Structure 1
Amino acid sequence: MSTTTRIITGALASTLLIAGTAQADREDWPQSFTVGTASQGGTYFVYGSGWANLVADQLDISGGGEVTGGPTQNLALVHGGDVAFGLTTMGPAADAVDGKSPLAPGVAMDNVCALFPMYETPFSITTLSDSGITSISEIPDGARIGFGPAASTSDTYFPAILEELGVDFERRNGGWSDLGGQLQDGLLDVVAFAAGIPIPAVSQLEVQTDVNIIEFTEEEQQKVMDKFPVSDFSIPASTYTTLDHDARAVSMWNFAIAGCDLPEDFVYEVTKVTMENNDKMMDVHRSAATTIPENIKYNTVLPFHPGAARWYEENGYEIDPALIKQ
């Protein structure tokens, strides 16, 4: 056998060994995965479906997003193993861990682990300009307000927020696209959105008609922060063509979640793809500007999946050991 032949044969054997090892490492991986998102027309659906496609392409595995009722339902779906991954907010997550989910009262959802920070969800209010409503205090008694899908973060918290601010209303539910259409058709007076910005349904409305994006006063903002698990937020004027100044609001952090029983190596690779490709995540949705490891500190509720925690720790990001699933 010639020297060249021996080199080629050795290189081929090495390649086959590496490929075989990589294949062996993936033996316990699922053949496909699903990400629980929310209704079409909302940021969760765009973000979650795009993220699923990125992971599927990078890891050469079949995956995609699924329309759901949003954060509260996603916690239940992930806990039950109906979907591998989901998107949620910290308020519903805290309720789920404490056994206070409206979908499963008394059930502490302990098979839900944190993956990575997504973005803050602003609570914002949109009306048609011809409604004459320019502030929260001007929302008339009995106003028909759309709060998003039933049991979503918006539907869970926004009605209580508006009640705290003295608003009397009729409560309506539906997907964001449907509610935007109902607002335009005069079937609703207001839509109270809790979704990442820019909200596709609002951007579409701006193209078709004149809208008002209602901001909180300083007093309203402080009153809501004192009562609910939200923080101060400012919607940048550049978010919508309607805005000519930053709009005062409140917000809640979103995190991607995973079933705690998913293989550690699989979740490690999913986390690696996500955290090391922020430019590609930004292509999915520009709210992913905050989908960075520095923001893992905003999760103080859910245990991190060991696979995710391993990537963070290898890259210099500390996590309290008590907040890692054992």
Structure 2
Amino acid sequence: MTYKLLAGAALALTIGTASAVTPAAAQDREGWPDSFTVGTASQGGTYFAYGSGWANLVAEELGISGGGEVTGGPMQNMALVHTGEAAFGMTTMGPAAESIAGTNPIAPGLEMTNACAMFPMYQTPFSITTLKSSGITSVSEIPAGAKIGFGPAGSTSDTYFPRMLETLGVDFERRNGGWSDLGGQLQDGLLDVIAFAAGVPVPAVSQLEVQTEVNIVEFTEEEQQKIMDAFPVSEFEIKADTYTTLTEPARSVSMWNFAIANCDLPESFVYAATEVVMSDNERMVSIHRAARSTVPENWDKNKVMKWHPGAAKWFNENGASIGADMIHGG
């Protein structure tokens, strides 16, 4: 598989930083890669914006060439990081659990246990967007046979949202694609609904709001509870100030996202990369507002993956209590 490396840090920065490294620091960097990639998802989604941002931040601070990589999302990122094709990636708890259990559709039967937890990112709300002109203001108003875009094939949205809507009795035709492409199709009348699973604000929805009038469809309390009973999600509320379309909070459900690292990466490298991201939340929030949840106290939201030793060391030094049984190789 070949992917396009995006937003790489400047090589001049790498050279300049390397020349300033002290012998002690150089010793600490033994085994570090010359460059790295972060598996994100399709352009127009939160993963791409957030992932490319923290990749560039780490590259800049550590003086290593690195950047975000367009992928199919959480399921594919688990495979890429497990095999080492990508050093880092991002995933959600559902796809992570399925991948570790060997039920990732990309490689059925392969237990992807060499992808380790690195740091908590944010919750992924499941939200529905339609054009205001469609008249669809609730899940029950989605017409039978509606064409619904679920994001890239194998993404968190594509894996769970169709099953959620089926649980709610919605009849639909399934469509896949990048979030930006699906937003264009919705605007052109080729889709009736987009079912997003992405950190908010979703760039594609924000762009749609600028170009046309949309409805952001919330779940009823009964629908919300039905989904929580059937899937590994929790209650969530999309704040009113997330989108200009919203005048009050919108009821939703969500799933936690974590950054992941190949378990074989040097402990000192992953420790340093984790420290860059977790020590400057203000800068992370400037990359994407969803990073307001990228804080040390959310370390306990990972109940699925073993931690990379370097990441676990940083968190345990900063208030966490990650046991040896949850650390790779421990």
TM-score, reference length from structure 1: 0.94
User: How many residues are matched?
Assistant: 311
Report the CA distance shift for 1:244/1:20 in structure 2 as closer, same or farther (over 3 A).
same
Task: Select the residue among 307, 311, 318 that pairs with 2:310.
Answer: 307
Letter matched to residue 293 of structure 1: P
What is the letter of the counterpart of residue 214 of structure 1?
V
| Equivalent in the alignment of 1:226 | 229
C-alpha displacement at 1:21, in angstroms?
Answer: 1.6
1:174 to 165, 174, 177: 177
Looking at structure 2, the residues matched to 251 and 125 of structure 1 have their Cα atoms a distance apart, in angstroms, of 13
Whole-angstrom CA distance in 1 between matches of 2:54 and 2:130 = 31
In the alignment, which residue of structure 2 is the partner of 1:66? 69
Task: Output the aligned Cα RMSD.
Answer: 1.2
Which residue pairs with 1:263 in the alignment? Answer: 266
Deviations 1:65-122 (A, max 9, x none): 0000000000000011110000100000000111111111111001100000000000
Aligned counterpart for 2:48 among listed residues 45, 48, 51: 45
Moved more, 23-32 or 84-93: 23-32
Equivalent pair of 2:296/2:318 in contact (CA under 8 Å)? no
What is the aligned partner in structure 2 of residue 149 from structure 1?
152
Find the counterpart in structure 2 of residue 127 from structure 1. 130
**Residue in structure 2 matching 1:250, options 246, 253, 275:** 253
Residue pairs, 1:12-51, within 5 angstroms: 19-51=22-54
2:89 pairs with 78, 86, 89, which one? Answer: 86
8 A Cα contact 2:239 2:249, kept in partner: yes
Q: Secondary structure at the match of 2:22?
A: helix
One of 199, 204, 207 as aligned partner of 2:202: 199
Residues 151-206 of structure 1 show CA distances to partners (whole Å, capped at 9, x for unaligned) of 00000000000000000000000000000000000000000000000000000000
- CA–CA distance in structure 2, aligned partners of residues 93 and 240 of structure 1: 29
Match of 1:278 in 2: 281
Question: C-alpha distance in 2, partners of 1:220/1:18?
Answer: 56
Aligned to 1:5: none
Determine which of 74, 79, 89 is the counterpart of 1:76: 79
Q: Secondary structure at the match of 2:105?
A: coil
Residues 166 and 25 of structure 1, relative CA distance in 2, 3 Å threshold: same
The Cα shift of 1:316 comes to 2.3
- Where structure 2 has 5 or more consecutive residues not aligned to the other structure, the ranges are 1-18
Unaligned 5+ runs, structure 1: 1-15
What are the Cα deviations for residues 7-49 of structure 1, in whole angstroms up to 9, with x where unaligned? xxxxxxxxx9981121122131000000000000000000000
Counterpart AA for 2:216: I
Cα distance in 1 between the residues matched to 2:138 and 2:279: 42
**Between the two proteins, what is the percent identity of the paired residues?**
70
Q: Deviations over 1:294-322 (max 9, x none)?
A: 00111000000000011111122111221
Per the alignment, residue 11 of structure 1 pairs with none
SS of the aligned residue for 2:133 comes to helix
Relative to the length of structure 2, the TM-score reads 0.93
Deviation digits for residues 45-66 of structure 1, max 9, x if unmatched? Answer: 0000000000001111110000
The CA distance in 2 between the partners of 1:151 and 1:277, in whole Å, is 32
State the alpha-carbon separation in 2 of the partners of residues 121 and 18 from structure 1.
39
SS at match of 2:222: helix
Give deviations 1:265-287, integer Å, cap 9, x for gaps: 00010111111111111111011
The aligned residue for residue 107 of structure 1 is 110
Relative to structure 1, the CA distance from residue 311 to residue 188 in structure 2 (aligned partners, 3 Å threshold; closer, same or farther) is: same
Decide whether the 8 Å contact of 2:299 with 2:315 is kept in 1: no
Secondary structure class of the residue paired with 2:147? strand
Q: Which residue of 2 aligns with 1:238?
A: 241
